[in-house]
Every structure is written in structure tokens, then in C-alpha cells.
Structure 1
Amino acid sequence: MQPARDVQPADGDLRLTFLASPFGVRDGLAQMLAAPPLGDLAPDLRGTAELVLAEVLNNIAEHAYAAGPGPVTVTLTAEPGGTRCLVVDQGLAMPGGRVPVGNLPSADTAVEDLPEGGFGWHLIHSLTRDLSYHRAGACNRLGFLLPHGG
């Protein structure tokens, strides 16, 4: 998997740093959805962006910063085919140094045997392109493209 590439925000792009806590994530999402480049999207694309970013940011708050909230920086850069996202935090590394696969269980799986979690990663994999992760020093860097059609 390729490292998450740096994105350089330009006019109409957004770089936002906030605390990865339930309230920090909620407020950060609201700011991202109200400003370009996400604020300029059609409602269905903005809803998809909200779903993906909420899953990513809540995972950071719950797992990377399990011992307590810490900073997260999200950079959103408009591209012809979508919005490039880079999410950087200083929490714990992803288990195994890679993004969880996020496979859905078989339809034959009994309700009591369903795994805890992992469904969000299935959504993230399904709704993004160019998903990448690497640990750079004390930072996690998760990058992806939110496609805008086709």
C-alpha cells in the first residue's frame, strides 16, 4: 500500500485541526460540510463524505486515542474526480500497520456470531478510492479520494 500523499491546500480547499473527541468530531464534521470543497457538493455526495469522514474520525477517537482525546488534522483538496482527503493523528498505530480489511460476514452468520465492529471499514473501502495508510514517526496518515461520480 502506498503512503498517504501530502496534499497542499489551495483556494477552496480546507485544512482543519480539532480534538478527536465526540464533540470535537461532531464540530469538525459540521465545519467541513459547511465549507468548500465539501460544502459545494450535491447533497448525496456531501452525505457520502459525511459518512466516510465520521467513520474515520470516530475510529480515531475510539481506538487511536483510546487513552484520551488528541489532535487530528483533516486536509480536503478538490480534484477533478473528487475530493482528496488526508487525515493525520498522533494516536496509536493501526493494528498490524495497515487499514482493516472490513470484510462483511457471510449472510449465513447467526446474529449472536456477528463480529463487533469492522462494518465501518467496509463502508470506507466501498465509498472511497486510493485508500492508503502509513505511520510516519509518531503520526498516522490515512489518505483517500471521495469520488464525485462514475
Structure 2
Amino acid sequence: MADTFACSFTATELDARSGISLVVKRLRDFNLPEERVGDVQIALAEAVNNVVEHAYSGQATGDVRIRCDLEREQLWIRISDAGPPFPDDQLPAGERADVSGPLEDLPEGGFGWFLIRELTNRIHYERQNGNNQLSLCFELSTLKGS
């Protein structure tokens, strides 16, 4: 039997922080390994912050919906928003950034998708009924971020 929970919040920085904290608390309530909860928290924060910063930029803010499905050794987190679709309906590549140069020359962004891809076991995106649906899968028996 799967454990499922969901939450939604307005796509603001403050509400996103509260929503992510709620998800993390629920995962801890399920006694998931703390190291894996940390991986989930980082990937979820990156994905949700992308929604806040990009999905609703230039328009009145919208909602972010998160659904978590925990079954055996797998956790699926589905993040939905009504912002515009990704270009060409494709997620960014998320390649490792070159950090060997001076700090002031580092790009402002571009690290998030790399982290998301590194910390998840599978990732899926689709546009459905005018909504972005991003699904992140975490195998609970593997520790990706350690």
C-alpha cells in the first residue's frame, strides 16, 4: 500500500519555503533515511524555486501543487504548475558548470538542473491540460548525494 500526501501553495518565495518544509516534515514522519531526505529537500527546493522564478514571471502569481507517493523503496514527487511550457517541451540539460575560474565569473544560474538530475534516479516532464508536470523519482535504497 502506498503512502500519499499532497500540498499546494502560492508561487512566492515565502510560501515555497513553507511548502518544501511541509514535504520534508512529512517525509521524516515516514522515517525515511535522513541522507535521502536531504537529497529530496535539495532537489525539491531547486525545482520549486524554478517554478517561482520562471513559471509565473511577468504575470500574476499562480499555484504550485506537490504530490508525494511513497511505495516500498520508491518516492515519486510530482510538481505541477500552470506556467508556460518548457521550450520545445524539454527540460534543461543540467550540465556540470565549470567552477574553476574566479568566483565573480561564475554564472548566476544553471546549477539547479544539474543538482536535480544528480540527486534523482529518474525525472520526467510532460505538459498536460495546460499544466507543467514534473515528476522526480528517488530510490530510497540508494544515497545519491553522499
Shorter-chain TM-score bucket reads 0.7 to 0.9
Question: 1:118 is matched with which residue?
Answer: 110
Which deviates the most, 18-27 or 108-117?
108-117
SS of the residue corresponding to residue 3 of structure 2 reads coil
Q: Distance in 2 between matches of 1:55 and 1:139?
A: 19
Deviation >4 Å, runs of 4+: 107-113
Q: Distance in 1 between matches of 2:127 and 2:28?
A: 26
Equivalent residue for 2:40, pick from 49, 58, 63 = 49
For structure 1, the 5+ residue unaligned runs are 1-9
Q: Percent identity?
A: 29
Note the alpha carbon deviations across 1:7-52, whole angstroms, 9 max, x for none: xxx76321111111111111111211122x4532222221111111
Q: Distance in 2 between matches of 1:69 and 1:119?
A: 24
Which deviates the most, 39-48 or 130-139?
39-48
Equivalent residue for 2:70, pick from 66, 74, 78 = 78
SS of the residue corresponding to residue 96 of structure 2 reads coil
For structure 2, the 5+ residue unaligned runs are none
Question: 1:28 is matched with which residue?
Answer: 19
Equivalent residue for 1:103, pick from 75, 79, 95 = 95
Equivalent residue for 2:9, pick from 18, 31, 46 = 18
RMSD of equivalent CA atoms: 1.9
Equivalent residue for 1:136, pick from 114, 128, 137 = 128
What is the TM-score of this pair, normalised by structure 1? 0.82
Q: Distance in 1 between matches of 2:104 and 2:19?
A: 35
Number of aligned positions between the proteins:
140
Matched, 1:62 2:56: no
SS of the residue corresponding to residue 13 of structure 1 reads strand
